[in-house]
Amino acid sequence: MKIITETNLTDFDFWSGAKYFSDKLTYSELEAISEHLQEIYPDGMTDTQINDFFWFEEDFICKLIGEDLDEILERV
């Protein structure tokens, strides 16, 4: 069975390496990323696709929001 849900990135339950990275992002950064992802993936993404994107595409995500990866990772 396929279940489709709609959720905000600010409420998404990230896991593994994606959780570490996403925890460093601000609410407004997650909102901006969400807008970009809606344009890039108009048909949506699975939970695993979202999590893998945040885990393995940190550099690309930072380019989308105009931030430096090292600066984000240094946040407390």
Q: What is the pLDDT of residues 40-56, one digit of tens each?
A: 999 999 999 999 999 99
Question: pTM score, two decimals?
Answer: 0.91
Q: Is the pLDDT of residue 2 over 90?
A: no
Q: Is the pLDDT of residue 76 over 90?
A: no
Q: Per-residue confidence at 1, pLDDT binned at 50, 70, 90? A: confident
Amino acid at residue number 32: A
Q: Is the pLDDT of residue 5 over 90?
A: no
Using the Cα atoms of residue 58, residue 18, residue 29 and residue 12 in order, give the sign of their dihedral.
positive
